[in-house]
Amino acid sequence: MGRLLVLVVLVVLAVWLIRRAFRAHTRSTESTEVPKKTEDLVRCANCGVLLPRAEARLAGGALYCTEEHARLGPGPR
Ligand SMILES: [Zn+2]
Q: Distance from the CA of 57 to the center of ligand 1, in angstroms?
A: 10
pTM of the model: 0.48
Q: How many whole angstroms separate alpha carbon 75 and alpha carbon 59? A: 13
| Residues of the chain with confidence (pLDDT) below 70 | 1, 27-39, 77
Q: Distance from the CA of 76 to the center of ligand 1, in angstroms?
A: 12
Class of residue 77 by CB neighbours under 10 A (exposed 0-12, middle 13-18, buried 19+): exposed
Ligand 1 ion: residues within 5 Å (CB): 44, 46-47, 65, 69
C-alpha distance from residue 50 to each of 26, 40, 41, 57, 74 (Å): 27, 10, 6, 12, 15
Position 77 scores a pLDDT of 55
Position 60 scores a pLDDT of 92
Q: Distance from the CA of 69 to the center of ligand 1, in angstroms?
A: 5
Please provide the DSSP assignment of 5-31 as one string. Answer: HHHHHHHHHHHHHHHHHHHHHHHHHHH
